Structure 1
Amino acid sequence: MAKILGLGGFFFKSADPEALANWYKTHLGMPVEAWGGCAFRTSALPKGSYSVWSPMADSSDYFAPSSSAFMLNLVVDDLDEMLSTLAAAGAEVMPEREDTEFGRFGWFVDPDGNKVELWQMAQED
């Protein structure tokens, strides 16, 4: 039987996709290509990296304050520096941080009002 091997992409609508892509490129350093999106190479991720697929209940408030039905999670190498950079650029940065066995998490809201989770993965031994 065929099986799924991983997350192949994340696609979503935006009122101004070019402006939003440019914002992510400018403030998060995302490698936005001429076609308007990014290809993240697994070789650039920390050893032992993985993607998470997780349906959540309609009643979940985990995406708040966003009213979107999705939340993007991006792996970062330095959570505190990235959140400081975003705050200095005027992004709404959530004050909460979460330290777990999986790593550290922090959140911000992008110009389209989507809550984005940043994940600094725990170091593998």
Structure 2
Amino acid sequence: MARPVLNSMLLGSSDPDRLKAWYRDGFQAETDGYGNLDLGGFGLVVEQRDDVDAKTIEPGRHIVNFAVDDIEQAAAHLRTLNVQWLVEPEDRGIGIFATVIDPDGNYVQLIQMKPEYYANK
């Protein structure tokens, strides 16, 4: 049996148009013919859900991570969109991490790993 490959994630939202626009604008996501977001070959599906609140009550339960080559440049772009920051870019030894909060309250991380991280794989 072939190993399954993770290719997408679904975020339920009470306001999917707002949430899609936030990810599209913040992370230069392309939209496919079905309205799903392509984030570098990984699909983000945002759909209307009646079983979720407008804001998540457990924002750390799942975290959307974006690998970036230049975290300061990515952070500067997000600042132009007036995102809400949980953690500004900070060095955590193996890389630089930052966390923003999407309109539904989900945590979204930017991660710029240091070259030595990849050298030790």
Length-normalised TM-score, structure 1: 0.64
Deviation string 1:7-58 (CA, Å, 9 cap, x unpaired) is 222112011222211121112212232322233338xxxxxxxxxxxxxxxx
Consecutive unaligned residues in structure 1, runs of 5 or more: 43-64
The one-letter amino acid paired with 1:25 is R
How do 1:1-125 residues align onto structure 2 when only pairs under 5 Å count?
A: 2=1, 4=3, 6-39=5-38, 40-41=40-41, 67-68=58-59, 69-96=61-88, 97-101=90-94, 103-123=95-115, 124=118
Matches of 1:66 and 1:30 in 2, distance apart?
26
2:66–2:110 Cα contact (<8 Å) kept: yes
RMSD: 2.6
Matches of 2:18 and 2:33 in 1, distance apart?
13
1:105–1:120 Cα contact (<8 Å) kept: yes
1:99–1:105 Cα contact (<8 Å) kept: yes
* % identical aligned pairs: 25
Matches of 1:32 and 1:77 in 2, distance apart?
22
Q: How many residues align?
A: 101
Deviation at 1:5, TM superposition (A): 5.1
What is the DSSP-based 3-state SS (H/G/I as helix, E as strand, rest coil) of the residue aligned with 2:22?
Answer: helix
Length-normalised TM-score, structure 2: 0.66
Partner residue, 2:47: none
Consecutive unaligned residues in structure 2, runs of 5 or more: 43-55
The 4+ residue runs of structure 1 with deviation greater than 4 A are none
